[in-house]
Amino acid sequence: MEANKKTIFSAVQPSGKITLGNYLGALRNWALLQDEYHALYCVADQHAITVRQDPASLRRQTLELFAQLIACGIDPERSTLFIQSHVSQHAELAWALNCYTMFGELSRMTQFKDKSAAHADNINAGLFTYPVLMAADILLYQTDLVPVGEDQRQHVELARDIAQRFNGVYGDVFAIPEAYIPKLGARVMSLSEPDKKMSKSSSNENSYVLVMDKPEVILRKFKRAVTDSEGGIYRSPEKPGVTNLIDIYAAVTGKTPEAVEQEFSGQGYGAFKPAVGEAVVEALRPIREETERLLTDKGQLEALYRQGAEKAAAAAARTLRKVHKKVGFVPR
């Protein structure tokens, strides 16, 4: 690890489904960040169980996501890529930090309110305290920067508050992390409701494209994408559907939106929508094929996630030993 590099940490829950929006908005940037930073990326399976999961599905989706992250460009040699439950220090530090987190702070977390409303029959303690586990995820690695969307900024703020409170009592134990909003990264909207972000939680499967969708499925979804009756391929607030398609085409081809408008000037949606679909198919093809290859080579996949867990645990153990010493636990 190069001493002058800052540490960046990010985690994603194993839903098993990465959308085109997830890839263009975040994961593609993770790959770009791993040379500039000391990067740690985590499949957050412990966070997933705040909501009831089918065990076999959770195992399958965890491995699928791990493979997809590698296929998206996360290099296990240049980054530390691991499965959260394989590094026991996450849960251990979370307990210690629970004792330095105020009940009122957790009560104010907006995602707890949202998830409680969505899962009224299962408002468990983990749903209430998972922001502390998230703080432990971040603070274990002396993280400087956490790439997040605006909806997660509150969790980074809580991690900062907990770290500052602990440091205030015991001295300089934790680095104080900052939210990192990447400058790059396309904001990809729904294909059926272009005023909303693309989301796999939509009931309309034609509204989102998955990284693992087959080419014929991707083409069908783009052919059905909502545009407008006016015609003309250019960006405008009055044309959210067309603007979204231009931005997607630009993001997967590396062209500027202006160049895309010029390329399709005078053409109709009948030519434009399939062209966007084809460009997306070609951009995602190597990711889908590499994911499928990794999932058929269980030995390689297991070796990679064990290697990642060992690297993560070595770094996490240093922080946890320091915390245990500070709070007064007898050394092991």
DSSP state, 152? G
Q: Let me know: does 17 contact 208? Beta carbons within 8 Å.
A: no
Per-residue model confidence (pLDDT) at position 184: 56
- Please identify every residue annotated as catalytic: 115, 197, 200
Average pLDDT, the chain: 92
Rounded to an integer, what distance in angstroms lies between the CA atom of residue 238 and that of residue 259?
Answer: 20
**Residue 266: Cβ-neighbour burial (10 angstroms; 0-12, 13-18, 19+):** exposed
Task: Give the tens place of pLDDT for each residue, 260-294.
Answer: 999 999 899 999 999 999 999 999 999 999 999 99
Task: Give the tens place of pLDDT for each residue, 149-195.
Answer: 777 888 999 999 999 999 999 999 999 999 998 765 678 999 999 99
State pTM to two decimals: 0.90
Per-residue model confidence (pLDDT) at position 43: 97
Phi-psi region of 328 (alpha: psi -120 to 50; beta: other; left: phi over 0): left
Find, among 221, 280, 216, the residue nearest to 246 by Cα: 280
Q: Residue 133: how many CB atoms within 10 A of its CB?
A: 22
Per-residue model confidence (pLDDT) at position 19: 93
Q: Is the pLDDT of residue 99 over 80?
A: yes
